[in-house]
Chain A
């Protein structure tokens, strides 16, 4: 009998019911991306600016011999831009999200592990016409996670590059 109970409890702890997010702060708001999309966090950044590129593209960065594109997530989320300071970090994403790129964030937070039930995904609105959709970057937001005393906005990393393209 005990064994059976133990098995059921282990089943409850199955990783699929939990998700991990890499949280960060931007202009006083809490955001998070799926930890499986993140490849690495970099603190010392030497940016090489790209001329004639959209202003969302901050430049290239060389990480251990590999060149990555860095986007300004503030501009993508329609905040005003902000100069790079001590707490600024670059999140690099996995190649399966998009071809070797990262985003600049204001401040990095903790890794958060939450129950799947606490996440509310936003319902995609099919009725909105294509042109209206172009000007909205709200597609970047996948949903909202309810934490103890605040809300965490979950962003979809795979939409970041597309957002830049659409803007162009």
Chain B
């Protein structure tokens, strides 16, 4: 998964671009709105300024009107009055100065010279003319000519500072309000920007998800199927069937094309495989034939070799025969000398046998003597058996006596009991007697025990005597057997003596025969010499045969080498066909052919 897939790349790219576009658009819109807002605000400010100027003008006009009307009223009042006093002028000027906007007032006579002036400096002051330090020129002036005799011109100085101030404050307030509204709009715009960016992120996410889903279902899945098939193809398994069930038409046509390609490959590989199999089989056959040929030639060679060896051996054997015949002739001479020696030995044997026969007769006499002794021993053993018998009788008698003793002991016991009873019945007078009676009882018990002991011992004695008797019987039997065997020995010795005598006569005959042998051996030695000469000639002929057979063997070995080369070539061919099969084998053409291959294997 380290390599990012096409789908992932596409998704990331498109999503990134969409995100960037949206963000940029958003920023541009916001910027534009900002600029718009700024220009609107500036317009509004200008408007406010103009409104201010307009108002100022109106106010000024209204003020002058007001002041003019006041002056008019003053004039009217003055006209209506008959007598005008100096105080009246002062009072009138003072009433003029009562207006807050009026700064100073001046009454001038017919010559245009002021005769009464009044001004506001902290308090209202009066004089004939204005002091020099009072600067009135910059202030606004209303000049009014009157028809009043004393006053030709009334000059009124007034200021509009207060109104200006008020209006300026109003303007400032408006402008501030405008700025505030602009700031709040800014804030709203920022929030809007945030919302817009979040919305764009959400949209991008939705777009990504849709892309992932569609790519998965429409492109990746069929591509995955194709990849699986490709994987199988990579393993050289051509037995895959490509089913065109994919969603998109392009992939369908691709899969169909792949399927057709596979079909073609399958056919070709199947043909190649079949041919390779056939080739392999024929190569095998050829190898077999070559091997058979080699084997045959090897066999022939070995056989010819064997024949050569055999012929060599034959010649060698014939040589050895010749040698042996020569040796035989030599040996014959030694045989004749040995037969002489034998003749002498047989003589001495005859003498020895005669001596043996005399000693055997001596042995026979001894054996007869042994028989006599054995008879005597049997007699003695019988005697001893009788003695043991009488001993047994005596033991039986002793047993009877001990029984008798026991009976007496019983009687004594009864007697003592009765005595005790009597003593008891006698009361205290019989006490002494009862002691005696118990002593007697004790005695009786002891004697009874002794008698039982004797009986036991006698029983063991009887058992011993019985065993002795049996042993004596065995001994006498053995002696009898000895007697019989010594008799048979004496018989055997007699027969041996006879046999030895026969041997002696035969030895004499042997003596004569040995002499005859001596003569015939000399004849034989002569004949053997002739035979030696003949065998030497045979040996020469055998040598010739052997050399010819060796030539035959060499030609066969040449044949064998050639057949061996053929065999090697066949093996190489077989190897090559095997290689070809190996190359083709991994291609699985179809399930059936696969099975067939398995079966063949």
Contacts and interface: CB of A to CB of B under 8 A. Distances in A.
Interface in A60-113: 89, 94, 108, 110-111
A41 B427 contact: no
B438 A111 contact: yes
Interface stretch (B245-253, B416-424, B538-546, B587-595): B416-424
Contacts of B424: 20, 35-36, 111
A22 B421 contact: yes
B428 A41 contact: no
Contacts of A39: 421
A43 B421 contact: no
Contacts of A108: 414, 417
A38 B421 CA distance: 7
A130 interface: no
A40 interface: yes
A111 B427 CA distance: 15
A72 B423 CA distance: 27
A18 to B, nearest CB: 11
Contact of B417 (A36, A41, A94): A41
Nearest to B431: A15
Interface string A26-39: 00000000011011
B118 interface: no
Given A41-B417, A108-B417, A111-B417, A36 B425 contact: yes
The interface residues of chain B, by DSSP majority, are classed as helix
A133 B441 CA distance: 41
Contacts of A35: 420-421, 424-425
A94 B428 CA distance: 19
Contacts, number: 34
B61 interface: no
A111 B435 CA distance: 11
Contacts of A22: 417, 421
B418 A40 contact: yes
Nearest to B414: A43
B267 interface: no
B392 to A, nearest CB: 26
B411 A43 contact: yes
A41 B421 contact: yes
A121 to B, nearest CB: 20
Contacts of B368: none
B410 interface: yes
Interface in B418-448: 418, 420-421, 424-425, 427-428, 434, 438, 441
A40 B421 contact: yes
Contacts of B427: 15
B441 A41 contact: no
Given A38-B421, A40-B418, A111-B424, 10 more contacts: A35-B424, A40-B421, A41-B417, A41-B418, A89-B414, A94-B425, A108-B414, A110-B441, A111-B417, A111-B420
Interface of A: 15, 20, 22, 35-36, 38-43, 89, 94, 108, 110-111
23 contacts: A22-B421, A35-B424, A35-B425, A36-B424, A39-B421, A40-B418, A40-B421, A41-B417, A41-B418, A41-B421, A42-B414, A43-B410, A43-B414, A89-B414, A94-B425, A108-B414, A108-B417, A110-B441, A111-B417, A111-B420, A111-B421, A111-B424, A111-B438
Q: Identify the 6 closest CB pairs spanning chains A and B, nearest first.
A: A35-B424, A111-B420, A43-B414, A41-B417, A38-B421, A20-B424
